[in-house]
Amino acid sequence: MQRTSVRACLARKVSAALLLTALPVAAVAQTAPTAEPVKLGIVSFLTGPAAGPFGIPGRNSAEIMIEMLNAGKVPAPYATPGLAGAKIVPKYVDEAGSTANQVTEFRNLVQRDGVNATVGYVSSGNCLAVAPVAEELKALTVFFDCGTPRIFEEKPLKYVFRATPHATMDSVGAARYVLKKFPDLASYSGINQNYAWGQDSWRDFVAAMKALAPKATVDKELLPKLFAGEFGAEISALLTTNSKIVHSSFWNGDLESFIVQNGARGLPARSTMVYTAGETAMFRLGGKIPDGTIIGARGPHGVMAPDTPLNKWFRGVYEDRFATAPTYPAYHMAQSILGLKSAWDKAAAAKGGQQPAIDDVVKAFEGIEFEGPSAKIRMAIGNGHQGIADIAYGSFRFNKAEGKAEIVDVVRYPAECVNPPANMTSTAWLEAGMPGAKCN
């Protein structure tokens, strides 16, 4: 009995506190027409091995973007509060667990919690599994980090969008940068995790290399299992080759242990390492990464992002809140939410400022162009549902004087240079030798 009253008292205090903090927000929002809040499902890895490098930065980025959008504090052109004046109420869901769990939780979000839209998913498997359900439920869904090109290439989708470019761009960008650094490359090797992301990354990289440098041959093609953590045998195999470069799409623990282990065996002295997702580990490892290592960030994100007001603002608020620089998953989340806002605001504008229906937002989203913190995103392929953007690659340098990890020699490739055109699948485009790529 006593406990109940304490709890009730606490609840009252908490709600009073919430009310007080909500007052200034409400005052800002008053300028816009008062609208029903928009419920937004945010799905990202909160537990498990993918939480640290991808899930948590994505979730944190969503938290800060939603808060700032609600307060109308995001710089132009996003300075209007919320989604067309409606406050965003997020609901966070963990992406860990089987695809069956993810499909169930997605249904719960849409049918039980009644979210108006969902932004989420890091794992390509989850994206592929959720896409047909989103179509079935007619639920607007924006994938933020998964990379597989298959999403819109297997069948056209109406309610699913992905502002973040797909993974083909990472491999094509890497191939172009490698050949700029080593124009007469004779042979190369690759070490990638034996699961979809690793296999796809390597396949696309080899295809891009075949198109750009047909004479270069593959020495060693290594596919150790995911989260192997120990790469002694693979490093020995790589040490026997004359490869000038070694391609790797490793991430998280595998990436870090591979860097430490191959450094100890002197592999980087023989071959330049190319880490297409290296940016997530760069700050933690610092001086352990040899200078000259080629680093990618799945887009021109993080330290490779341009110095625009939007990017400066984003880095500022993110670092203030979480005491660490935003890595690419944070950028992916931010640009996905901004894409949703752009579409929402455009749909509302077409209705004279009224809250749009989901089908209006879907229509407005198709083919939209908007500014992300790091690049302009154009929903140009996949029937206007898949975004393309520039990509950047650079070389690692450890600034000993300041003890800081840096990227130098950054080259930024335009979107059309590294993405397939609207009428071709990425595999067909790569196999045809990347026709129509515009690189200047």
Partner 1 sequence: MMTGLRILLGAAILGGLGAAAPFTPLWLISLVTLAMSTGLVVCGLIILWRGGLVPFGQALFFATGAYTVALSGRWFGVTDAFLLIALAVIMAALVAFVVGFLLAQYREIFFAMLSLALSMILYGVLVKSETLGSTDGVNVAQASFFGMKPRGPGYTFALFWLALGMVFLAWVGVSAYLGSIAGQLAGAIRDNEIRVEYLGISVTRLVHLKLTISAALAGAGGALAALSISHVDPQMAYWTTSGGFVFVTILAGAASVPAAFLGALLFEIVRTIAVALLPGGWQLILGSVLLLTILFVPEGLGSLMIRKRATISEKGAA
Which residues are near partner 1 by CB under 8 A? Answer: 46-47, 92-94, 96-101, 103-105, 107-108, 110-112, 124-125, 128-129, 131-133, 136, 148, 150, 154, 194-197, 199, 203, 225-226
- Among residues 320, 337, 321, the alpha carbon closest in space to that of 329 is found at 337
Q: Which is nearer to partner 1, 145 or 345 (CB)?
A: 145
Q: Which is nearer to partner 1, 112 or 438 (CB)?
A: 112
Q: Which amino acid is at 64?
A: I
Q: Which is nearer to partner 1, 193 or 336 (CB)?
A: 193
- Among residues 232, 201, 211, the alpha carbon closest in space to that of 221 is found at 201
Instruction: Please report the sign of the dihedral spanned by the C-alpha atoms of residue 183, residue 202, residue 392, residue 405.
Output: negative
> Residue 325 CB, nearest distance to partner 1 (Å)?
22
> Residue 259 CB, nearest distance to partner 1 (Å)?
23
> Residue 200 CB, nearest distance to partner 1 (Å)?
8
Concatenating the DSSP letter of every residue in 316-357 gives HHHHHHHSS---HHHHHHHHHHHHHHHHHHHHHHHTTTSPPP
Q: What is d(CA 83, CA 140) in angstroms, rounded to the nearest whole number?
A: 14
Q: What is d(CA 248, CA 284) in angstroms, rounded to the nearest whole number?
A: 18
> Residue 105 CB, nearest distance to partner 1 (Å)?
6
> Residue 122 CB, nearest distance to partner 1 (Å)?
12
> Residue 132 CB, nearest distance to partner 1 (Å)?
5
> Residue 116 CB, nearest distance to partner 1 (Å)?
16
Residue with tokens 């930065």: 57
> Residue 126 CB, nearest distance to partner 1 (Å)?
9
How far from 115 is each of 37, 136, 248, 356, 396, CA to CA, in Å?
A: 10, 15, 38, 15, 42
Q: Which is nearer to partner 1, 41 or 278 (CB)?
A: 41
Parallel, antiparallel or unpaired: strands 88-94 and 38-44: parallel
How far from 217 is each of 68, 190, 242, 245, 300, CA to CA, in Å?
A: 50, 11, 11, 11, 29
Q: What is d(CA 393, CA 296) in angstroms, rounded to the nearest whole number?
A: 5
Q: Which is nearer to partner 1, 99 or 241 (CB)?
A: 99
How far from 136 is each of 70, 260, 386, CA to CA, in Å?
A: 30, 46, 19
Q: Which is nearer to partner 1, 91 or 288 (CB)?
A: 91
- Among residues 389, 323, 370, 374, the alpha carbon closest in space to that of 60 is found at 323
> Residue 112 CB, nearest distance to partner 1 (Å)?
4
- Among residues 229, 268, 222, the alpha carbon closest in space to that of 248 is found at 222
Q: Which is nearer to partner 1, 92 or 313 (CB)?
A: 92
Q: What is d(CA 413, CA 300) in angstroms, rounded to the nearest whole number?
A: 9
> Residue 282 CB, nearest distance to partner 1 (Å)?
25
Q: Phi/psi at 322 (nearest 5 deg)?
A: -110, 0
Q: What strands lie across the sheet with 140-143, from one edge to the other?
A: 88-94, 38-44, 117-120, 140-143, 160-162, 386-388, 376-381, 369-371
Q: Which is nearer to partner 1, 221 or 369 (CB)?
A: 221
Q: What is d(CA 275, CA 230) in angstroms, rounded to the nearest whole number?
A: 17
Q: What is d(CA 368, CA 146) in angstroms, rounded to the nearest whole number?
A: 20
Q: Are 415 and 407 in contact (CB under 8 A)?
A: no
> Residue 267 CB, nearest distance to partner 1 (Å)?
26
Q: Which is nearer to partner 1, 111 or 236 (CB)?
A: 111
Q: Which is nearer to partner 1, 30 or 98 (CB)?
A: 98
Q: Which is nearer to partner 1, 159 or 393 (CB)?
A: 159
